[in-house]
A = this chain, B = another copy of it.
Amino acid sequence: MALITESLVTATDKKIVLLVLDGLGGLPQLPGGPTELEAATTPNLDKLAKEGVQGLLDPIGPGITPGSGPAHLSLFGYDAVEHNVGRGLLSALGGDFPLEDRDVCARGNFCSLDGSGNVTDRRAGRIATELSTPLCEKLEKDAQIEGVEIFVRPEKDHRFLLVIRGEHLSDQLEDTDSQKTGVPPLKCKPLREEAARTAKIVDEFSDKARRVLENEKQANGVLLRGFAKRLPLPTMSDRFGLRAAALADYPMYRGLARLVGMEVLSKDPDLKARFAEVKKSRDGYDFFFVHFKKTDAAGEDGNFEKKVKVIEECDAALPVLLEAKPDVLIVTGDHSTPAMMASHSWHPVPVLIHGNNVRTDDTTAFGETQASHGGLGRMPMMHLLPIALAHAGRLQKFGA
């Protein structure tokens, strides 16, 4: 199907805006109650839903809980199962690290370990970037391994990028992060024989890091996940003829956007500023991806009220985005992060499409319940982009 879509692509001057509220989908606190999105007061989103059409998207497939990487690839019209992108690669791309083909990279977390070496906090109290930056410098200086070159670069808060540069390295490795507390970080397990040497290097790095950090109170250990090498993907320009731009304040999402050939514009942490830049840059691009992280962060923290509040914050900023007069405006999430679960989930994500040639349905407000009987029905997230292209007049007729 993807190949047909690509063969039908044509150009128009219609602009598509994809606004992603990360982890938007939620769950009610009590059966029958409102989800975070439904509890939020969102007059602007509700108006768009009423004038547009709603539905539900499965990021990867029914029952599958996605990470942010594959979920965003689906949003961008890619088969995320075919193109399985490691978290480490996203971190590298987001941080503008000049990755080489031979490099293996991973997402690192500073974590807190107790006296017996068990993890007490997987995020080291979410230490601030100002505190984690000198720790990264220290690691890059003092935790080098013979035979390879080690790079440790800060990301936001407790997160960092690890890059191992050398010959004959493999990314076929399991995470050292068990996602649990009360147990020590895992030994790195090779998934294939050829990765045995790289796994040893990873373990050596983890041990050295612990020695380097031993006097730290909070951040005295490291957890590594998403080992990956560089992955060549066809760009959105190649596939869909779109000059695409990204406006995201978190490095990983910028990295993801670059991976599919988007140009990264504003990374202003203020959502309104990013919205304003869409208007400013309107003529230069066909497709704008605007990312809003706070919904996912509140969901991950299990904070229902906070998630409601940041959805309302996004809604209040929307008029600035509407000033850009997108011909096709899509609002959705990359996946669900219900505060009740304090984690990503498999529940399908509500989506609304507003604009050119939309067939309206009888829904009146943006939310999971109404979306479940909206005019779009429920479909794989990967199909969203072809629909966006259709509304923008960017797909020719198939056959006669």
Which of A's residues lie within 8 Å of B, judged by CB? Answer: 1, 4-5, 8, 27-28, 31-33, 35, 50-52, 56, 60-71, 80-81, 84-87, 90, 107, 225-226, 338, 340-341, 344-348, 357-362, 368-369, 372-379, 383-390, 395-400
Contacts and interface: CB of A to CB of B under 8 A. Distances in A.
A229 to B, nearest CB: 15
Q: What's the number of copies of this chain in the assembled complex?
A: 2
24 contacts: A4-B81, A5-B61, A5-B64, A27-B359, A31-B360, A32-B360, A35-B359, A61-B386, A62-B379, A62-B384, A62-B387, A63-B389, A63-B390, A64-B390, A64-B398, A65-B390, A65-B395, A67-B397, A68-B400, A70-B398, A70-B399, A80-B398, A85-B399, A372-B374
Contact of A61 (B64, B383, B384): B383
Contacts of A90: 400
A135 to B, nearest CB: 22
A370 to B, nearest CB: 9
A345 B63 CA distance: 27
A interface: dominant SS = loop
Contact of A56 (B377, B383, B387, B398): B377
A369 B363 CA distance: 10
Nearest to A336: B359
A96 to B, nearest CB: 19
Given A5-B64, A63-B386, A63-B395, 20 more contacts: A1-B61, A4-B60, A27-B357, A31-B50, A32-B51, A33-B360, A64-B398, A65-B396, A70-B399, A87-B400, A90-B400, A338-B359, A344-B397, A346-B390, A347-B359, A368-B375, A372-B373, A372-B374, A373-B373, A376-B378
A51 B63 contact: no
Contact of A383 (B33, B62, B340, B375): B62
